[in-house]
Amino acid sequence: MPASVLVAYATRHGSTQEVAEAVAATLREGRLEVDLRTAREVRSLEGYSAVVLGTAIYMFRLHKDARRFLTRHREALSKRLVAIFAMGPFNNDEKEWQGVRAQLDKELAMFPWLTPVAQEVFGGKFDPAKLRFPYNLVPYLKRLPASDIRDWNATRAWARSVAERLESP
């Protein structure tokens, strides 16, 4: 029986969803059965042997749907293989990436029972025209240029490494 994997994602503007779709497509190339759902709509992890959770980071915190997902499914997640990716820096400044990795570590430390088999930060997408309240009132954010530094090759390479881990647990 192929392992069954849930890819769940928490997004506000859709860029994390698109990365989750790429991760799911790559996992499907192997021997895995994959479902793709928003973290918010998942009621049960029954039937899945592994979970990939993708989340945007907003204001140094995991998207609230990701935090709720981890809290709600704690018991089931502690018995399954879990991989996590988070988005994401706007530019390729190494210091910013280190900062975001540290943010992710700090956020995941709030779930000490969680021991991901893989954890990654991906570059994100930013569009000042799509800022919503209250962020559309922050002059610094409004002045930032639009950017999209999502790296699809890096995403697929990460997903392949996760697939290898999940195919031979």
Ligand X SMILES: Cc1cc2nc3c(=O)[nH]c(=O)nc-3n(C[C@H](O)[C@H](O)[C@H](O)COP(=O)(O)O)c2cc1C
Residue numbers at the binding site for ligand X (CB under 6 A): 11-16, 56-60, 87-89, 100, 103, 124-126, 131, 135, 141
Give the nearer residue to ligand X in terms of CB position, either 35 or 148.
148
Shortest Cβ distance from residue 13 to ligand X (Å)?
3
- CA-nearest of 126, 83, 119 to 104 is 119
Shortest Cβ distance from residue 56 to ligand X (Å)?
3
d(CA 151, CA 113): 30
Shortest Cβ distance from residue 44 to ligand X (Å)?
24
- CA-nearest of 35, 42, 33, 44 to 4 is 33
d(CA 69, CA 92): 29
- CA-nearest of 100, 83, 76, 101 to 167 is 83
Shortest Cβ distance from residue 144 to ligand X (Å)?
9
Tally Cβ neighbours within 10 Å of residue 17.
17
Give the nearer residue to ligand X in terms of CB position, either 14 or 169.
14
Give the nearer residue to ligand X in terms of CB position, either 73 or 150.
150
Give the nearer residue to ligand X in terms of CB position, either 33 or 96.
96
